[in-house]
Amino acid sequence: MVLFTGAALLIGVLIVGFMWLSRPAAPTVNDLEPPAEEIPAGAMIDGRTMGSPDAKVTIEIWSDFQCPACRTFAMNLEPRTITDYVVTGKVRLVYRDAAFQGQKSSSPYDESVESAAAARCAADQGLFWQMHNWLFANWNGENEGAFAAPRLTAIATAAGLNLAEYDACMATGDKQAAVISETNQGVAAGIGQTPTLVINGQALVGAPRAYADWAAYLDQAYAAAN
């Protein structure tokens, strides 16, 4: 009996050890894809806004970090918009949370809410737009773990956040509640799809594919504002 018990204990220890050694390693910065664009100097960042408060055109970007169309806008149109319109003082960007994609999952962990909360925590450190770029650069599917908690920590590290402050911020649940609240406010205001771009009060659902079309739209808005 003693030998049997000892053997069982040894097998148990070996199984636990094997599971420990074979567990997936936590993602690191080296596992991430860096953003193609950096935030240019002169962008006038204030939390989740970018651009001069005196800009003639304000664009509210209702977005979800899990939304593929939002990613296309953020990576293809937004950088040139910042260079051509934000830095020049014509346009001000205001990011809004419309955390819809996570609602498609049955998991209690909502990747849309958590990634948006992480970006809000970055905003507290003056790094919202850096986190925004790193999040979109490292999206790889809806509700498939791209924004699981360990990966968000790696992304926060890459974006330059103070991790002690970030961890404390994420742990309170306040940012997650703020994301849900703003999402509900958007729904109440008629936001039902991402991205929705509200340009001086006029909603544009989706975004043009070609930058020339988008630039023409912004030029018209700027001319009308003047």
Taking the C-alpha atoms of residue 121 and residue 118, their distance in angstroms, rounded to an integer, is 5
Instruction: Establish whether the linkage from the previous residue to 79 is cis, with ω within 30° of 0.
Output: no
Report angle CA 16, 18, 21 to the nearest 5 degrees. 110
* 121 close to 179: Cβ distance less than 8 angstroms: no
| Cβ-Cβ contacts under 8 Å for 163 (sequence gap 6 or more) | 153, 156, 157
Per-residue pLDDT 10s for the chain (226 aa) are 555 555 444 444 334 344 333 344 677 888 899 999 999 988 999 999 999 999 999 999 999 999 999 999 999 999 999 999 999 999 999 999 999 999 999 999 999 999 999 999 999 999 999 999 999 999 999 999 999 999 999 999 999 999 999 999 999 999 999 999 999 999 999 999 999 999 999 999 998 999 999 999 999 999 999 9
- Say what the pLDDT of residue 29 is: 81
The residue type of 167 is D
Taking the C-alpha atoms of residue 47 and residue 129, their distance in angstroms, rounded to an integer, is 8
- Which superfamily, per CATH, for 31-225? Glutaredoxin (3.40.30.10)
